[in-house]
Amino acid sequence: MTAPGVTTPTPPDPSTARARGGFARKLRDNLTGHAFLIGAVVCFALFMWYPMIRGVVMSFQRTRRGETTWVGWDNYTRIVADPSFWIAWKNTFIFTILALALGYVLPFFVAILLNEFRHAKGYLRVLVYLPVMLPPASALFLFKYYAYDPSEAGLFNAILKGLHLPTSEWMQSPTMTIPAMVIASTWMNMGSAVLIYLASLQNIPGELYEAAELDGAGVWRRIWNVTIPQTRLILALLAMLQIVATMQLFIEPLILANGAGTQDSATSVAYLIYQHGFFQNDLNGAAALGVIMLLVLAAFSAVYVRLTTKQD
């Protein structure tokens, strides 16, 4: 703040200097700006924007022996008529629901628990996040060969037997395939969600808990009435991100179940895209399936945004 009447020499403001410089100056500034942008823009154009359009275009075309023709909805009807199509959607939905039931709720409570501790915090955080840093292929081979070994030499079966519980055939049993993939996937991925929740828990003002406690609210009531409302935004955001991520289930069926799994019990939509595109020489069908997946996720997001904003 400068006292009235005292004039201080001010350095020329670059924005007014820019405006005064006229058209040539403006053009030069813009060109410089775009020169800095060009590398990233070209890569976005090549590998994001153009493929997005190309995917839609491809889904209405058919390429045979180097010749591309328009075929209307043929790719879509062919893809939908494939019996694997519905199985893949069913498996993907079951996986998504189970993965959310476990992988969405669990990290929230783990974060609440970790946030209460005054000791060993760093150690516990490192532990939870460690599996996130493993290459998924490495972690999944561990599950495939050691944990889910269907004999009693397998880690999980040895534990179950030790507890006098019935053992399982894991990936060889069609009913256990999806739960087994959910367990592996949650173990590999929950670290990021825990850390994000932990950060948002630390932003909750302590007075809110104080006030709730003075009103006689117990621990569960405080979680319900303070913690959840205070972290609502991040809870909603992560739910959306996790749904989109789990719907793209691919590497778990590929490695754990060798693709389709026992009696098609592991086939996912993403795996079907891969199959059509790179094994059945049907890139156009795979593109159509990709468009269907995008539409399903977009419709889902729209409904979700509608539901979560309505509550306010």
Partner 1 sequence: MADSGSRTLISQAQLRRGRGKYLYWTLLAVVVAGFTLVFLGPLYWMVTGALKSGQEIAQTPPTLWPQNPQLQNYTDAWNNLDLAKLMFNTFYYAAGAVFFQLVFDTAAAYALSKLRPVFGNVILGLMLATLMIPAMVLIVPQYVTAIDLPIIHVNLLDSPWAIWLPLIANAFNIFLLKRFFDSIPEDLIAAAQVDGASPLRTLWSIILPMSRPILGVVAIFAVTAVWKDFLWPKLVMPSPETRTLSVGIYAFSGGTPQNVVIAASVIAAIPTVIIFLLFQRNIMSGLTTGSLKG
Residues 214 to 273 in contact with partner 1, rule: CB under 8 A: 219, 222-223, 226-227, 234, 237, 244, 247-248, 250-251, 254-255, 269-270, 273
Question: How many other CB atoms sit within 10 Å of the CB of residue 247?
Answer: 20
For residue 199, state whether it binds partner 1 (rule: CB under 8 A): yes
Name the residue among 113, 233, 249, 240 with its Cα closest to residue 181. 249
Is 64 a binding residue for partner 1 by CB under 8 A? The answer is no
Give the number of other Cβ atoms within 10 Å of residue 89's Cβ: 18
| Type of residue at 194 | V
Q: What pairs with residue 70 in β-bridges?
A: 61
Asked whether position 121 contacts partner 1 by CB under 8 A, the answer is yes
Q: Kindly state the tokens that stand for 5.
A: 């009447």
**Is residue 111 at the binding interface for partner 1, with CB under 8 A as the rule?**
no
- CB neighbours (10 Å) of residue 150? 16
Gap between the Cα atoms of 263 and 261, Å rounded:
6
Query: Looking at this protein, which amino acid is placed at residue 165?
Result: L
Q: Does 129 bind partner 1 (CB under 8 A)?
A: yes
Strand 61-64 to 67-70 pairing: antiparallel
Q: Rule CB under 8 A: choose which of 76, 274, 300, 304 binds partner 1.
A: 274
232-247 vs 83-103: helix crossing angle, rounded to 10: 150
Which CB sits closer to partner 1, 19 or 134? 134
Closest separation between CB of residue 5 and partner 1, Å? Answer: 25
300: burial class by Cβ within 10 Å (0-12, 13-18, 19+)?
middle
Contacts with partner 1 by CB under 8 A: the residue count is 112
Q: Is residue 86 a contact point for partner 1 (CB under 8 A)?
A: no
* CA-to-CA dists, residue 101 to 96, 155, 179, angstroms: 9, 24, 11
Q: Which of 80, 133, 302, 305 binds partner 1 (CB under 8 A)?
A: 133
Residue 47 in the binding site for partner 1 (CB under 8 A): yes
Contact between 307 and partner 1 per CB under 8 A: no
Q: With binding defined as CB under 8 A, does residue 71 bind partner 1?
A: no
> Quick one: which of 19, 21, 25, 49 contacts partner 1 (CB under 8 A)?
49
Smaller CB distance to partner 1: residue 93 or 129?
129
Binding of partner 1 at residue 80 (CB under 8 A)?
A: no
65 CB-side CA count, 13 A: 0
Q: Smallest distance, Å, CB 98 to partner 1?
A: 18
Q: Give the pair of three-digit tokens for residue 177.
A: 């395939």
Q: Per CB under 8 A, which of residues 139..198 are in contact with partner 1?
A: 139, 141-143, 145-147, 151-155, 158, 161-162, 187, 192, 195-196, 198
- Report the C-alpha gap between 169 and 148 in whole angstroms: 8
Instruction: Indicate the residue among 110 and 178 with the shorter CB distance to partner 1.
Output: 110
- 33 belongs to the binding site for partner 1 (CB under 8 A): yes
Beta bridge partners of 68: 63
- Choose the stretch contacting partner 1; rule: CB under 8 A; options: 73-81, 94-102, 124-132, 170-178: 124-132
CB of 66 to partner 1, least distance (A): 11
- Of 84, 172, 213, 259, the residue at the interface with partner 1 (CB under 8 A) is 213
Tokens of 197: 């929740």
